[in-house]
Structure 1
Amino acid sequence: VFVGLIVSLGSSTVIGNIIAGLVITYMRPFKIGDCIKLNDTTGNVVEKTPLVTRIRTPKNEVVTIPNSFVMSSHTVNFSQSAREYGLIIHSEVSIGYDVPWRTVNKLLVEAALNTPGVVDDPRPFVLSTSLSDWYPVYQVNAYIKDADRLAEIYSDLHQNIQDRFNEAGVEIMSPHYMAVRDGNASTIPPKEGEEE
């Protein structure tokens, strides 16, 4: 009975993976060679079988994933997006309020346009994502068509941002200000009836 239970459980898993493999083939969420993200795993699909899907990561690790797991997870297909619409990469920097936002936007767009793999149409754009107490946060967005070079393009973009800001004499930093007590009175309001 125990052996029969093991065989039946094993066969149900195998059958589940085969059915999932058929559904994946029908749905076509990705194809061989596509760069995808499956939960925490990102890489190129190198093999699809009735039982498993194999993904090669940027570090050349081959990850084998049961098809039933693929079916129950969300999949991001970078290659399909890059082919059809242009994949948008983005990166954030925080610069002090002393630097005009128009200057920061100009430098970020120039850095993006000088990055190999970034297309100039549609043109890169910058979003101001927050205005914190000490600094604003800027997000540069750029379109790429080659998802297989995602990590390389990100690295080049970050290097170009540093180069462009250094050339312009703009410091990439998140300034913080401290209130230092030097004998001045506290800013806490006095209680009612007390003198300041």
Structure 2
Amino acid sequence: MGKKEDRQLIGLRMRASEIKRRRHELDERYGRIDGICPICGKLIRKPKRGPTARFCSRSCRQTYAQRKQDAIDFKKNKSAELALDQLTKQGGDYRKRADGKRESTLNAHKEIKNVRKASRFSCMFQLKTILECKPELIEQATANGYVANLMRAIDQHGTQGDAERMLRHLGYTGPIPTGDK
């Protein structure tokens, strides 16, 4: 309120509400109300010089700054939570895919083991059949011949010496073909 208007009110016994009403009337008459505080909603008076203040008081300015910082922090936290959720979901997807690959690898290893086992039994059955039908083929076997290859396959899919042990168990007493001939 200017000095001239204050002089009009000096010496009058007026209530605070009356003074406030008269100031408001003067402000409207001279166009000095220039804005409203965005925090508390009070009217902001235009000063004689300089720009109109954005807030009615220091506490409103601080409240605004705190709310603005809280909004920035909320956005940061929200984006961090979204990123964490997305990474967690991707991690779960990767884990599921890795478990699927591991399971398929284990199944493939089981299949390979079963095929080797079947191949070993097949080779052992062929060697047994040769022993029962034509044992001279075992005695006359060459180093890279069919019988020597059968015996190597039996030993390869089992343990070393399985073919010889099987022949001896079945009663074969002749020479065992080796890779020397």
Structures share fold, TM-score greater than 0.5: no
Band the TM-score falls in, shorter-chain normalisation: under 0.3
TM-score (norm 1): 0.23
Higher fraction of strand: 1
TM-score by length of 2: 0.25
Higher alpha-carbon Rg: 2
- Give the structure with the larger helix fraction: 2
